[in-house]
Amino acid sequence: MTDQKRPLAERLSCADSTFPRLSHETALRVIGDLGIAAVDVCVFAGSDHTPPADVVADPPAAADRVRRRLERCELAVADVFAILGSEFDELAVNHPDAQVRAQSLDCYRAVLDFARRLGAPGVTLLPGMPFDGVDADVGLALAAAELQRRAELAAEAGLRLAIEPHYQSIAETPARTLDLIGQAPDVTLALDHSHFVFQGFAQAEADALIPHAAHVHLRQAAPGVMQTRTGEGAIDFRALRDRLDADGYDGFLALEYQWEEWLDCTRVDCIAETAALRDLLLKETA
């Protein structure tokens, strides 16, 4: 680690969506009690913490509410992660309906305003979805154009835009992810190895995306298992940490265990595994 980099302990964050059954402020206090100084604020449809409808209706008021909670809990903002629809395709950036795309863009503008007011370094979105009747390459090109437009809007607001390549998306493989960002030069990645390892890709194949990462999500996974205990999966987190360091990565590492029904992601103790992953990452680091 170079002298210019912040210590790793200062670059750990935790997603507030890790604790969806708690009130937002209680979830933030748990994150603070875990010794983590920053949070990924998740604007997720279906969540009571920071509902997208509230952000879209009044970005300044929503930002003020969240900022006051963060101040009380003494937490910084590592990222704002927005999933605007209750299904991945609902407000997808590459939806084949132009009116839906326009609505999605309007919602994104509100999220940008919210993130800027919170002092977040950037916003993370999903990359888009495959749609029946739409050629995969055409859908990818549309996603790239829409995301590039959003990245330019983010830059105007002093923020960066990242996408999280994920299972079932238009960028569910490392190769398709590279195809997408190759057509959207200002778009970065919120890299989550679990989505690739789940599908059977080797860790090294996901590592190839590291040069494009502006944010990193971490949880343990294995082939066919999207989320498992820190000590039981296929991801070598120390090797990943060291690879990120060697590549000059100086962004946040977000501990992102999720408690949700999707793909049986309710089968871990999120507090215990977040603590275990925190300790593993910090071991043998200065």
CA 136, CA 225: separation in Å to the nearest integer?
26
- Alpha carbon of 101 to those of 132, 147, 169, 262: distances in Å? 16, 11, 16, 25
User: Which tokens sit at 208?
Assistant: 């190839």
Residues 232-252: tens digit of each pLDDT: 999 999 999 999 999 999 999
When pLDDT is cut at 50, 70 and 90, the band that residue 178 belongs to is: very high
Q: pTM of this prediction?
A: 0.95
Residues 58-105: tens digit of each pLDDT: 999 999 999 999 999 999 999 999 999 999 999 999 999 999 999 999
Nearest CA to 150 out of 159, 138, 141 is that of 159
> How confident is the model over 100-129, as a mean pLDDT?
98
pLDDT of 168 reads: 95
The number of CA neighbours under 13 Å toward the Cβ of 79 is: 32
- Report the mean per-residue pLDDT for the chain: 95
Q: Is residue 40 predicted with pLDDT exceeding 90?
A: yes
CATH assignment, 8-282? 3.20.20.150
> How confident is the model over 259-268, as a mean pLDDT?
72
User: Could you tell me whether strands 160-163 and 122-125 are parallel, antiparallel, or unpaired per DSSP bridges?
Assistant: parallel
Of the chain, the percentage scoring pLDDT greater than 70 comes to: 96
Q: Is residue 121 predicted with pLDDT exceeding 90?
A: yes
As separate numbers, helices (DSSP H) first and strands (DSSP E) second, the chain gives: 10, 8
Q: Which residue in this structure is represented by tokens 């916003």?
A: 123
pLDDT of 263 reads: 65
